[in-house]
Amino acid sequence: MEKIEHTTVSTNGINMHVASIGSGPVILFLHGFPDLWYSWRHQLLSFADLGYRAIAPDLRGYGDSDSPPSHESYTVLHIVGDLVGLLDSLGVDQVLLVGHDWGAIIAWWMCMIRPDRVKALVNMSVEFHPRNPSVKPVEAFKALFGEDYYVCRFQEPGDIEEDFAQVDTKKLINGFFTSHSTRPPCIPKSVFKYLPDPPALPAWFTEQDICFYADKFSQKGYTGGLNYYRALNLSWELTAPWDGLQIKVPVKYIVGDLDPTYHIPGTKEYIHEGGLKKHVPFLQEVVVMEGVGHFLQQEKPNEITDHIYGFFKKF
């Protein structure tokens, strides 16, 4: 870990913290919620040894990167703009791109908006869905899962932050990362009053890992990450010009069979029966990892590295 370099890059009006290591073709890793560059720690070291330059930023709102206060500064256009500016500042024309969770959403949109900057994509957990011009995403989630669905509960500024503040940060981080429930993540208002102690830590997630995340989120808070959800409807409005376009870069998609995103009604059929391929015509591989939950790059780091390397070495 001490080999990883940490720098700050000025991009798109913010200062972005970037972790990087190695030399060679550039792989850009994008994290999700509630994550940091640190979620790619295993892959950074592995790909440096494999002859790549591995780069993982703290995205806007996270860790040691700047956090603009308004949720209106967290649309997918802002985040893609940050990444284009990052590549420009590093003198990198094209990258091999890897995304997970919100990082996967950003990666899909980067391939849509700036396909010239992406050689190939490995995306994890969140599949691509075309923009539905007739309904805003938050309203769609509310209709499908109700007001307590996590995306809906995250909408009101300050509300879920107050709930999170009732729980010790380390306990909350543990709960986020180690849950293997495949049910839709719903957060009733009173849930944190009765939050049980998490089970013993799995082998892949150590006390040191929890402390790293807890320290950063204790310093930074969760609002930056939550603002991605609060900007969902605004992103929907702003991305109308790209309606109907396909993702036209080579893609490999990976999901764990215990990931709740994989169990959203209709998702398995969409992925495996041609729906995803219709919108991502250069989709080359789909991998469903058995016995793996949402944070698959940390749960099975060696296997994920093998999957990514097996795909990227073609390019």
What tens digit of pLDDT does each residue of 246-261 get? 999 999 999 999 999 9
User: Cβ distance 45 to 114 under 8 Å?
Assistant: no
Q: Which two tokens stand for residue 273?
A: 């029966």
Averaged pLDDT of the chain: 96
Total-model pTM = 0.97
Identify the pLDDT of residue 302: 98
Please tell me which residue in 100, 279, 294, 307 is annotated as part of the active site: 294
% of the chain residues with pLDDT over 70:
99
Q: 229 catalytic, yes or no? A: yes
Identify the pLDDT of residue 314: 93
Q: 294 catalytic, yes or no? A: yes
Q: What domain range is 216 assigned to?
A: 5-313
User: Cβ distance 39 to 100 under 8 Å?
Assistant: yes
Number of Cβ within 10 Å of residue 288's Cβ equals 15
CATH of the domain at 224: 3.40.50.1820
Please tell me which residue in 35, 101, 163, 259 is annotated as part of the active site: 101
What tens digit of pLDDT does each residue of 263-275 get? 999 999 999 999 9
Q: 101 catalytic, yes or no? A: yes
Identify the pLDDT of residue 179: 83
The count of structural domains within the chain is 1
Identify the pLDDT of residue 197: 80
Say whether pLDDT at 195 is over 80.
no
How far apart are alpha carbons 101 and 99 in whole angstroms?
7
Task: State the number of CA atoms in the 13 A half-sphere of 28 facing the CB.
Answer: 29
Please tell me which residue in 228, 229, 253, 270 is annotated as part of the active site: 229
Say whether pLDDT at 176 is over 80.
yes
% of the chain residues with pLDDT over 90:
92
Split at pLDDT 50, 70, 90, the class of 200 is confident
What tens digit of pLDDT does each residue of 126-143 get? 999 999 999 999 999 999
Going by C-beta distance under 8 Å and a sequence separation of 6 or more, which residues neighbour residue 195?
A: 167, 171, 175
